[in-house]
Structure 1
Amino acid sequence: MAETAERSHEVPIGKVAVIGAGVMGETLVSGLLRAGRQAGDLLVSDRSPERLAVIKERYGVGVASAADAAAGVDTVVLAVKPQDMSKVLDTIRDHLAPGTLVVSIAAGITTAFLEGRLPEGTPVARVMPNTPALVDEGMAAVSPGAHCDAHHLWVAQDLMRSCGKVLSIPEEHQDAVTAISGSGPAYIFYVVEAMIEAGVLLGLPRGTSTELVVQTLYGAATMLKETGEHPTVLRERVSSPGGTTMSALRELDDNKVRAAFLTAMEAAARRSAELASGAG
């Protein structure tokens, strides 16, 4: 069952290094700053000197090599591509102070993989974020490793909470999380694309169709969040007997759209498991 770790904010998180200044790495840095963290408590590392220069200029944070960044902080966030993870771990392992928390936001990288390549007893946490973190509306799921205690878990959650909502889950559910919230924004964008195209097909200007669809999506999501009602209940309130909505929903059912979504998410979860096992 998903949980939220509770701990007093009187306990400081300390200094944080973000290794990898791509989209998610920069998102985390900007989110931490908006959440009130001081630029002096953040270090950023990236293999591109040009990218580091941009991050330093944009946010005023410190920059350093991966080894130096890892040596001088309390928490290291690994925001690199999965295929680069082994090299980064080899670079930082001998520079970590005892007790440094290592948080990975790379897809398919297990806590066992991290622990096997870091000093014995290193606390690690695995996180699956998603792209709405860019607008502080992310959904992240955190799984603790073998040496990650309650405080470490709270630190990992608090880092991700700067960009949205966070849950703590057993690692065995990370493939399902990847299929639902990790990949989920792409499914929503896919549906939105189709709805906009339908509006154009029906004669609307593209800008008008886009505005109608985006606001409808925003309003529907807000209803789900604010009312707490089951989506079936909300759907039925729109679906008058013999009306336009029922005609549309009948077509979706006839074309097995619901079944296609289930099958697609199962495929995403399988691929996540393959990546985690090293098969991909």
Structure 2
Amino acid sequence: MASTLYFIGGGNMVTAIIEAVRDKSESYPVDALYVQEISQARIEDLAQRFGVLAADPSSTPDADIVIIGIRPQDDLKTVLESVSQRFSPERTTVISIVAGYTIEQLEEHLGHDFRLARIIPNTLTTTGYGYSGVALNDQASENDIDAFLRTFGKPLYVEERLIDVITGFYPPNLVYHFIDAYVDAGVLAGLPRDIAKAIALDTLIGGTEFLKQKDVLPQVLLNINNSPGGVGITQAYTLNSTGFAASVQSAVLAAVNRTTALGKEAR
């Protein structure tokens, strides 16, 4: 059976999800796709690109899934109370993609009758990659949402305490920073930028695939590549002496802490 989806918010993440859902229409058919968004220009763009239907805070379509995709600093209390008044717990499953906002906080204003899931989608939604942590309340099950979630990534059903950790750990920004530095290193050493970029991307993708094929920890391959007095071990020494590993770990922990803080700052 085809689903009816209702999005509250029409920002970048919601747009990416809608695009992914439309791309997977054969495996996940959708009867109607509504978006409630304050920006008329954004609604018009989504309608033109994906055929969404405009909605407002008084709309009451018979939705299978309501996706709350606004910012933590927006008026979540009012939005959740509105959802509880307009939709039926017997019919509708609610999914929150609001960073840092816990199931307990959601249920405080939504009520405890709805099937509820909390997920922060990975930004790699349209690439076929990207794990997203998913936490469920007592009323929800994987069967309620799994088909929908798999249109835009790979759901990992976990305890809620791990959601913020996964959210702070997975953003590809860390990879972009690394590639940017790696390309600059090639340029510093004398390579033209286009050649440095091509080699960096190919090495990153190839190295990742090789690691997956071998199914071992990275240290195993490092030990193989780091021959005595060789290039690899010289590179490892330099990275260690400049605090490379500690910088990566500090960046991840800072992102995790910021994710948690967003929930505490929510209205």
- Fold agreement, TM-score > 0.5: yes
Q: Deviations over 1:50-82 (max 9, x none)?
A: 1111111111233322442x5420110111111
Write the letter of the residue equivalent to 1:73.
Answer: A
Aligned position for 1:234: 221
Q: Deviations over 1:94-153 (max 9, x none)?
A: 1011232110112111111111111341121110222111323222110012322x2xx3
In structure 2, the CA distance between the partners of 1:21 and 1:259, relative to structure 1 (3 Å rule), is: same
1:88 paired with 2:75, answer no
Aligned position for 1:140: 132
1:179 paired residue among 146, 154, 168: 168
1:57-68 alignment runs, 5 A limit: 57-68=48-59
Contact 1:28 1:163 in 2 (8 A): yes
What's the CA shift for 1:158? 2.6
Q: Describe the SS at the equivalent of 1:132.
A: coil
How many residue pairs match? The answer is 263
1:121 paired with 2:110, answer no
Write the letter of the residue equivalent to 2:178.
Answer: V
Aligned position for 2:16: 27
What's the CA shift for 1:261? 2.0
Contact 2:10 2:37 in 1 (8 A): yes
Q: Unpaired segments of 5 or more residues in structure 2?
A: none
Partners of 2:166 and 2:154 in 1: CA distance: 14
Task: Between 96-105 and 226-235, report the one with greater CA deviation.
Answer: 226-235
In structure 2, the CA distance between the partners of 1:49 and 1:187, relative to structure 1 (3 Å rule), is: same
Write the letter of the residue equivalent to 1:18.
Answer: F
Contact 1:142 1:157 in 2 (8 A): no
Regions of 4+ moved over 6 Å? none
What's the CA shift for 1:274? 2.3
1:189 paired residue among 155, 176, 187: 176
Partners of 1:65 and 1:135 in 2: CA distance: 31
Partners of 2:173 and 2:57 in 1: CA distance: 31
Partners of 1:81 and 1:226 in 2: CA distance: 39
Aligned position for 1:41: 32
Aligned position for 2:3: 14
What's the CA shift for 1:29? 0.9
Contact 1:157 1:167 in 2 (8 A): no
Q: Deviations over 1:26-71 (max 9, x none)?
A: 1111111211233533222211111111111111233322442x54
Q: Describe the SS at the equivalent of 1:192.
A: helix
Partners of 1:35 and 1:259 in 2: CA distance: 40
In structure 2, the CA distance between the partners of 1:125 and 1:209, relative to structure 1 (3 Å rule), is: same
Contact 2:9 2:37 in 1 (8 A): yes
Q: Tell me the TM-score normalized by structure 2.
A: 0.90
What's the CA shift for 1:234? 2.5
Contact 2:4 2:65 in 1 (8 A): yes
2:191 paired residue among 204, 212, 221: 204
Task: Between 123-132 and 217-226, report the one with greater CA deviation.
Answer: 217-226
What's the CA shift for 1:201? 0.8
Partners of 2:36 and 2:211 in 1: CA distance: 39
**Quick one: percent identity of the two aligned structures?**
28
Contact 1:25 1:79 in 2 (8 A): yes
Contact 1:105 1:128 in 2 (8 A): yes
What's the CA shift for 1:269? 2.1
Root mean square deviation of aligned Cα: 2.1
Q: Tell me the TM-score normalized by structure 1.
A: 0.86
1:71-86 alignment runs, 5 A limit: 71-84=61-74, 85-86=76-77
Partners of 1:22 and 1:65 in 2: CA distance: 15
Contact 1:40 1:61 in 2 (8 A): no
Q: Describe the SS at the equivalent of 1:42.
A: strand
Contact 2:133 2:162 in 1 (8 A): no
1:168 paired with 2:160, answer no
Q: Unpaired segments of 5 or more residues in structure 1?
A: 1-11
